[in-house]
């Protein structure tokens, strides 16, 4: 599963272009099966579709977060190289000044 981050304007245009997309985005997720079916699935080693879907979405969100963090760190490095002060970078990013210093020093694991 992939995550696509859109601006509000792009999202609105997408919905205008393809009504099927609007339906897919607003449709209700399937409900969990009844308890008896859940227990049958557990005994059979099966996974309910909702759990697969939720796990896929969580993994996609985690991947997107990691990608965006890399972009943010690259922006921090580039702006700092161009002379932007650390306190300004902290204000722009929402990170603390200590976190900016940690990223710039290379001590950042993530």
Domain boundaries, the chain: 8-105
pTM, entire model: 0.60
Q: Which of 61, 64, 45 is nearest to 53 (CA)?
A: 61
- Count of C-beta atoms within a 10 Å radius of residue 76: 22
Per-residue tokens: 108? 């950042």
Q: What is the pLDDT along the chain (110 residues), one digit of tens a residue?
A: 556 777 888 777 777 776 776 666 666 667 889 999 999 999 999 999 889 888 888 888 888 889 999 999 999 999 999 999 999 999 999 999 999 999 999 886 66
The CA distance from 54 to 61, in Å, is: 10
């Amino acid at each position: 599963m992939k995550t696509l981050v859109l601006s509000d304007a792009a999202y609105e245009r997408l919905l205008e272009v393809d009504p099927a997309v609007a339906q897919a985005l607003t449709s209700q997720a399937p409900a969990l099966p009844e308890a008896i079916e859940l227990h049958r699935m557990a005994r059979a080693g099966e996974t309910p579709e909702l759990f697969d879907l939720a796990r896929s979405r969580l993994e996609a969100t985690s991947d997107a977060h990691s990608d965006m963090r890399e972009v943010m760190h690259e922006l921090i490095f580039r702006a700092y190289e161009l002379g932007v002060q650390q306190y300004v970078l902290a204000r722009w990013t929402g990170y603390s000044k200590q976190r900016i210093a940690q990223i710039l020093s290379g001590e950042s694991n993530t």
